[in-house]
Amino acid sequence: MDVLGFHFQDTVIVAGFFAATLVPALVGIVLGAIFKSNKVANVVASLCIVSCAVSVSTYPLWHLGLALEYTLPIPSAIGEYRLAIDQLTACMISFSSVIFMLIVVHVVKSTSDSGCRYSALLNALFLACFSCMSADSVLVLLFSWELVTLTTFLLSKKGNNDHARWMFFAIAHLGGMVLICAYSFMASVAGTQVLSQWDGLSSALGHWTSMALIMAIVMGFGTKLGLIPFHAWMPDLYATAPIHTATLLSTVCSNVAILMVFKTVFSYIGITAALTPIAFAIVIIAVATALWGALESLVQREPKKLLAYSSMENMALVVLCMALGIIYIVESPALAKLVLVAGLLHTLNHSVFKSLMLMSIDTVEDCTGEKNIGRMGGLSRTLPALSAVAIIGILAMAAVPPTNGFVSEWLMIQSLMGADLESKGMSLVIPLILAAVGICGMMMAASYARLYGFIFLGRPRSEAMENPRPMKRGTILPLALLAALCLGMGLFAMTIMDVLAASIVSLIGMPPSPGYRSVMSGELLPLVLGTAVVATVAVLYWASKRGAQPEREVPTWSCGEDLDENMQYSSIGFTQPLVKVFHPFYGDTTVVRETKDSKVRTVIIEFVEPFVKYLYKPLGALLTGISERIGKTQTGNIQTYFAYVLITLVVTLLAVRVF
């Protein structure tokens, strides 16, 4: 390849690319581990930004036709560090790097999470994610996936949130263990550890095994995506961890998980007609997760918890798309492409709007020091820039055109509807899925309306809201960029979809035609509709403002009384009608009455996550019970121990004698 008149060997360029990606991050880790000062922390973070910036070029490099395969020149106990990047991986790496970079920029600017340790761990997380996505060896994949878990765990330390972090760590590790077993099994069947040589193992595995493996892999990665019942860690961790950790977890790490699920299911295992039953099981889990996330998000008190449930819902939709892809792929490849494109597009979109919203919400908490959504309000007048970017994020999450969230949900429903419904039991299932997706979408929209309305709109509900600290300088920049991405990806979604479709075609090894566009309606709709919305609003606004009488600012109408801060609808009250409608699902709404004085009485409504109450706690108690039983065997009496030796000896001898 010739660059600026110089000729380079392809291998040199590839090696240079990997070096340029990995080395700054490595240097960052080392620097961050050694130094402590804030200045160095900025250097460390900027090294991370450099790495991200280089890895953004992954897709362009792939596009130039370079074979992005590289083996690091250092062997390890788990074999060689083999990296290989295919088209889909390249897409995801490039895109995730952009998000990662913007988040790190925000870290630097906001300084709330800075510090050498944090920045060094960011570098480590970047490396882990990069190597996980590009891993070409099973063990490297498992190693880096666990490393992602570890670094996010370390990154999530803030104050006294040990329990929340631990919950995450333990559940994620359980998932990791499942993955280790699943991948080991596949490696033993494939006879090689090199992932790029795994090609359609399902014929060798037999379909029962393949189905079990697909389930194990979806659930294994699903522990980080928050699939039911592994979502219990999400709300607490999102609420207590440093926000950038939560953001990375919700965006980049989810992208990694989704990518790995896609690659494993569609490329390594390979889908055959016999595998559809497992897809139905996954559909059920995904739908249940989505509904659960939507339901729980309605009653959350803390904005970050609400966003955690929203992440759960969004990721469940992506998994749903993947499962539908499995169902469609045999009968109608074009539709399968469409639904997979929808899923991947939603993954990308989610990482944009979710990072925007999480960081915006954190800015709110940072500026006001308030964490309870019920005590917020009226920030749009005091923090106008923030409220402007946040409304775009909210619109994107609520899937309102012309944002990117709309496009992916639109595609999703299209692919659901376009299903060839004459076949199998699908005809009954599809309407149900459709209904569930519809209800989820509207419930989430309700949550988002509540989120925005009770934080930015209305009158302030507490002192802190009246005079928030101004935003830190420069923090608006990454947020604005993300907001611009929300709009841009909404308008120009087709370009991204084409790339994703091509990646999926090459991943699955399907014939490129019929393309996904053949089953899709309104190819230009995102662009046309989006432009139409924006243009019409602009024209109407402009036209209407001309010749209008000047407005008058008046106090909010209050039936003649003076409005105090409690005379506003409360955030819990806002969704209360819905809670009443879906009451059985919330199970227990605990009402705590505290009598402080003889006259003052506070009523607090608490929503306990039923999964924690009815699944995790009893399970924990059971395990502890069993362990304590076993613990009783250690009596402290040495005679008992001798007895164990004697019994062991006798039993072993007997066993050997008998068998």
Partner 1 sequence: MNPFEIVLMALQAAALMAVSPLVVGIIRKIKARMQNKVGASVLQPYRDLRKMFRKESAVSENASFLFRLIPYVCLTSMLLLAAMTPFVYTQVIAPYADVIAMVYIFTMFRFAMVLGGLEGGSAFGGMGSSREVMMSVLIEPALLISIMTLSAMTGAGFDLSAISGSINARGAAAICPALLLAGTSFVITMVAENTRVPFDNPDTHLELTMVHEGMLLEYSGRGLAIMEFASMVRLTIFMALLGTLFFPWGTAMAMTAAELSVSLLAITVKMLAIAFGIALLESTVAKMRVFRMPNMLTASFALALMAMVSLYVL
Partner 2 sequence: MMVTLTAVIPIVAGAVCLLPFGVKNVSRISAAGALVMLAASVYCCVAPLTGETIDTWIWYVDELSGFFILITAFVSFAAVLYSTDYLAVEWREERLNAREVRRFYCTLFVFISTMLLTFAVRSAALTWIGVGVTTMVSAFLVGLYKDESATEAAWKYIMLCSVGITLALFGIAMLYTASSGVVADDSALDWPTLVANAAAFNPLFMKFAAIFLVIGFGTKAGLAPLHNWLPDAHSQAPGPVSGMMSGVLLNCAMYAIMRFYSVSEIVNPGFVRTLLLAFGIVSVFTAAAFILISKDFKRMLAYSSVENMGLIAIGLGIGTPLAIYGALFQTLAHSLCKPMMFFCAGNVIQAYGTRSMPNIRGVSGKMRFTGFATAGGALAVAGAPPFPMFVGEVMILYGAVNEGLYLFAGALAILLAFIFAGITRSIFPMLSGTTSREVFEHRSVLRGFAIFSLFACALFFGLFMPEPIRGIFETMIALLSGGST
Partner 3 sequence: MDPILTSNLIDIFAVSMLLTSVLAMASARMRPLIKLFVLQSFFLAAFEFTVAYSQDEPHIYVMAAMTFGIKVILIPRMLQYIMARIRVDDELSLSVGIPGSMLLSTGLILFSYYVSEPLVITLTTEERNSLVLSFAIMLIGLQMMTTRRKAITEVVGLLMAENGLFLGAIALSNGMPFIVELGAFIDVLMAIIIIGIFAFRINKSFDSVDTTLLRRLKEE
**Out of 92, 125, 135, 139, which residue is the one contacting partner 2 (CB under 8 A)?**
139
Retrieve residue 633's tokens.
């065997």
d(CA 561, CA 547): 34
434 binds partner 1 (CB under 8 A): yes
413 binds partner 1 (CB under 8 A): yes
Q: Which CB, 89 or 152, lies closer to partner 2?
A: 152
- By CB under 8 A, what part of segment 588-627 binds partner 2? 623-624, 626-627
554 binds partner 1 (CB under 8 A): yes
Shortest spacing between CB 570 and partner 3, in angstroms: 46
**Out of 12, 34, 532, 653, which residue is the one contacting partner 2 (CB under 8 A)?**
653
Separation of first and last alpha carbons in the chain: 69
DSSP per residue over 71-113, as a string? EEEEEETTEEEEEE--HHHHHHHHHHHHHHHHHHHHHHHH-SS
Retrieve residue 592's tokens.
């705590």
Shortest spacing between CB 610 and partner 3, in angstroms: 32
| SS3 state at 366 | helix
Retrieve residue 114's tokens.
């800075």
Shortest spacing between CB 464 and partner 1, in angstroms: 16
Instruction: Kindly report the length of the chain.
Output: 659
658 binds partner 2 (CB under 8 A): no
Question: Which stretch in 7-15, 111-119, 346-354, 536-544 sits in contact with partner 1 by CB under 8 A?
Answer: 536-544
**Out of 76, 372, 521, 558, which residue is the one contacting partner 2 (CB under 8 A)?**
76
376, 454 contact by CB (below 8 A): yes
Site string for partner 2, 265-284 (x = CB under 8 A): --------------------
585 binds partner 2 (CB under 8 A): no
Find out whether the peptide bond into 402 is cis, omega within 30 degrees of 0: yes
Q: Which CB, 57 or 310, lies closer to partner 1?
A: 310
Q: Which CB, 524 or 655, lies closer to partner 3?
A: 655
Q: Which CB, 182 or 446, lies closer to partner 1?
A: 446
CA distances from residue 325 to 219, 341, 361 in whole angstroms, order as listed: 17, 9, 34
Question: Which stretch in 335-343, 361-369, 394-402, 631-639 sits in contact with partner 2 by CB under 8 A?
Answer: 631-639
Site string for partner 1, 512-531 (x = CB under 8 A): ---------xxxxx--xx--
644 binds partner 2 (CB under 8 A): yes
Shortest spacing between CB 626 and partner 2, in angstroms: 7
Question: Which stretch in 52-60, 165-173, 456-464, 649-657 sits in contact with partner 3 by CB under 8 A?
Answer: 649-657
Shortest spacing between CB 378 and partner 3, in angstroms: 53
Q: Residue 377: left (phi > 0), alpha (psi -120 to 50), or beta?
A: left
642 binds partner 2 (CB under 8 A): yes
Residue 162 binds which entry of partner 3, partner 2, partner 1, none, CB below 5-8 Å type-dependent: partner 2
- The residue count for binding partner 3 (CB under 8 A) is 17
584 binds partner 1 (CB under 8 A): no
Stretch (H or E) spanning 3 = strand 2-3
- By CB under 8 A, what part of segment 448-467 binds partner 1? 449-450, 452-454, 456-459
| SS3 state at 178 | helix
Sign of the dihedral through C-alpha 621, 627, 633, 634? negative
Nearest to 100 by CA among 152, 144, 147, 138: 152
- The residue count for binding partner 2 (CB under 8 A) is 55
Q: Which CB, 8 or 642, lies closer to partner 3?
A: 642
Stretch (H or E) spanning 595 = strand 589-595
The total of other beta-carbon atoms located within 10 Å of residue 284's CB is 16
**Out of 242, 401, 468, 478, which residue is the one contacting partner 1 (CB under 8 A)?**
401
314, 227 contact by CB (below 8 A): no
Give 591's strand partners.
605
646 binds partner 3 (CB under 8 A): yes
- By CB under 8 A, what part of segment 185-214 binds partner 2? 185, 187-188
Q: Please enumerate in sequence order all residues whose Cβ is within 8 A of that of 309, keeping only pairs 6 or more positions apart, or say none.
A: 234, 235, 293, 294, 296, 297, 300, 447
Nearest to 373 by CA among 306, 454, 299: 454
| SS3 state at 2 | strand
Residue 654 binds which entry of partner 3, partner 1, partner 2, none, CB below 5-8 Å type-dependent: partner 3
176 binds partner 1 (CB under 8 A): no
**Out of 67, 538, 626, 650, which residue is the one contacting partner 3 (CB under 8 A)?**
650
**Out of 546, 590, 633, 658, which residue is the one contacting partner 2 (CB under 8 A)?**
633
Shortest spacing between CB 622 and partner 3, in angstroms: 18
625 binds partner 3 (CB under 8 A): no
Q: Please enumerate in sequence order all residues whose Cβ is within 8 A of that of 382, keeping only pairs 6 or more positions apart, or say none.
A: 465, 466, 467, 468
Retrieve residue 129's tokens.
């994610």
Shortest spacing between CB 655 and partner 2, in angstroms: 9
CA distances from residue 176 to 182, 247, 531 in whole angstroms, order as listed: 10, 21, 45
**Crossing angle of helices 493-508/476-491, nearest 10°?**
80
Residue 2 binds which entry of partner 3, partner 2, partner 1, none, CB below 5-8 Å type-dependent: none
Q: Which CB, 60 or 631, lies closer to partner 3?
A: 631
Site string for partner 2, 165-184 (x = CB under 8 A): xx--xx--xx-xxx-xx--x
* 10-47 exposure pattern, b = at least 16 Cβ within 10 A, e = fewer: eeebbeebbeebbebbbbbbebbeeeeeeebbbbbbbb
d(CA 653, CA 656): 5
Stretch (H or E) spanning 601 = strand 601-607
Q: Which CB, 8 or 641, lies closer to partner 3?
A: 641
Q: How far is CA 159 from the centre of its chain?
A: 24
Q: Between vectors from CA 214 to CA 134 and to CA 187, what angle results, nearest 5°?
A: 55
Footprint of partner 2 on this chain (CB under 8 A)? Answer: 74-78, 139, 142-144, 146-147, 149-150, 154, 157, 159-160, 162-163, 165-166, 169-170, 173-174, 176-178, 180-181, 184-185, 187-188, 623-624, 626-628, 630-631, 633-634, 638, 640-642, 644-645, 647-649, 652-653, 656
Could you list the residues that contact partner 3 (CB under 8 A)?
Answer: 631, 634-640, 642-643, 645-646, 649-650, 653-654, 657
